Amino acid sequence: MSNLTRKEKDWILYDVGNSAFVMLTATVIPICFKNMASEASISSSASTAYFGYASAFVTILAAILGPILGAVADIRGFKKPIFTCFMGAGVIGCAVLSFPTGWLSFLVAYIFAKVGFQGSLTFYDSMLTDVTDTKRVDEVSAHGYAWGYLGSCIPFVISILLVLYGGQIGVVFWLNAIWWFLMTLPLLKSFEQTCYVEAREHPVKESLERLSHVVKEVVKNQKIFWFLAAFFFYIDGVYTIIDMATSYGKDVGISDTDLMLALLLTQVVAFPCSILFGKLAKKMEGGRLIKLSIIGYLGVVIFAVQMYHAWEFWLLAVCVAVFQGGIQALSRSYYTKIIPPKQAAEYFGFYDIFGKGAAFVGTLMVGAAAQLSGNSRVGIGLLSILFVLGYVCFVKMEKT
């Protein structure tokens, strides 16, 4: 990171911090939940469905709040305080996960933590326009995901040791909450909102009026519209795989140890792959790399449907790692280039509706299909539809 500025490094550190919680949501949290649900005599397919419904609820709520608060955050001096509130809610929620002993109360705590996490990302993503310029945005965005993957391995390795050898699951949540908070402090100290609109007499009313204007602009601007449509589908599939991989792995008989270690491998492999995609973006058009990643994820889904053995889950983890950081980083930087920088938080509010907010489709799809069929493979297989539609819409966007 030697060629990055101080502000860019501080921005990247938040990815290092929140990625620790992402790892928990992909491993420890679903494992704890499914074990609690099993103790309460709830079937594996039903617990997978409940976890999917909870994830869907979070993303719908984040989607509703994102553009409204994003419009307010574009006002001078508002972005950092709103970001801080959501980040604080996520950190507190993460720590609170150490208290519940029943599956339902644990699920409620998880919802609270994840609302804070997802809400903070709307404003964190929009900060990219404040900390760097359009020439460096691909590289900086890629570094954010890359160092997030690698940095999160530190608390995650400690967490694995605490779970496997000490049984200290409660301590794990506190450890990751503290890590998340400490990695955020440099950004809170150095961030300056350089892209903004000036406050007026009625800031909330003015924000809602600007939000209405943005809706019209998104519909009118075909490039943004079709990008968001494509993003809605393909990133929905990506986030659903992240949210449901561990739960699905348990359903097909993969042990808790294999699940956690394989997902640790994902983080390690994703680091160089994210950096690689950032460098490739200097030589290749970002859209081509995004389409390549969509095709890669389609292959992941097809492979996952027939998975039965632990070694297959390990192979799947590596394949996901190759494309995960690239598709996330390049999508964020691609969008940054086609929106007005002074309205970044507003536009990123819509980015989250069509992205993280859209993930309710995939999680609901997997959850409902698993519950109705009694087989989680059916829901996972349906995710292929999302990647196909995402690819088609992206090609349409390129032709506008």
Mean pLDDT of 88-110: 93
Higher pLDDT, 166 or 33: 33
**Nearest in space to 364 (alpha carbons), one of 40, 51, 67:** 51
pTM for this one? Answer: 0.71
Q: Is the pLDDT of residue 146 over 70?
A: yes
Place of tokens 């079937």: 43
Least confident interval from 191-195, 242-246, 354-358, 390-394: 354-358
Confidence of residue 86 (pLDDT cuts 50, 70, 90): very high
276: phi then psi, degrees, rounded to nearest 5: -60, -45
pLDDT at 173: 95
Higher pLDDT, 233 or 195: 233
Higher pLDDT, 330 or 69: 330
pLDDT at 206: 64
| CB burial of residue 2 (10 Å; 0-12, 13-18, 19+) | exposed
> How many whole angstroms separate alpha carbon 159 and alpha carbon 175?
8
Give yes or no for a contact between 177 and 97, defined as CB atoms under 8 angstroms apart: no
pLDDT at 250: 73
Q: Is the pLDDT of residue 289 over 80?
A: yes
Beta-carbon count within 10 A of 54 CB: 19
3-state secondary structure of 75: strand
Least confident interval from 39-48, 108-117, 181-190, 291-300: 39-48
Least confident interval from 195-209, 251-265, 365-379: 195-209
pLDDT, tens digit (0-9, with 9 covering 90-100), for 239-249: 777 766 777 77
Place of tokens 């955020």: 184
Strand partners, 75: 197
Q: Is the pLDDT of residue 4 over 70?
A: yes
Confidence of residue 1 (pLDDT cuts 50, 70, 90): low
pLDDT at 94: 96
Confidence of residue 207 (pLDDT cuts 50, 70, 90): low
Residues 6+ apart with CB under 8 A from 333: 128, 137, 138, 140, 141, 142, 281, 286
Tokens of 161: 């040791």
pLDDT at 34: 86
Tokens of 109: 């705590």
Q: Is the pLDDT of residue 374 over 80?
A: no
pLDDT at 311: 81
Tokens of 350: 């819509």
> How many whole angstroms separate alpha carbon 33 and alpha carbon 11?
32
Least confident interval from 9-18, 116-125, 340-349: 340-349
Mean pLDDT of 359-363: 71
**Nearest in space to 241 (alpha carbons), one of 169, 168, 187, 319:** 319
Tokens of 120: 């903070």
pLDDT at 292: 92
Q: Is the pLDDT of residue 398 over 70?
A: yes
Domains, in order of start, for the chain = 6-194+205-399 (1.20.1250.20)
Tokens of 64: 């509703």
Confidence of residue 391 (pLDDT cuts 50, 70, 90): very high
**Position 142: which residue type?**
A
**Averaged confidence pLDDT in the chain:** 84
Least confident interval from 164-173, 227-236, 337-346, 348-357: 348-357
Confidence of residue 188 (pLDDT cuts 50, 70, 90): very high
Higher pLDDT, 353 or 278: 278
pLDDT at 13: 95
pLDDT, tens digit (0-9, with 9 covering 90-100), for 320-344: 888 887 888 888 888 888 888 777 7
Mean pLDDT of 371-383: 79
Higher pLDDT, 297 or 325: 297
Q: Is the pLDDT of residue 135 over 60?
A: yes
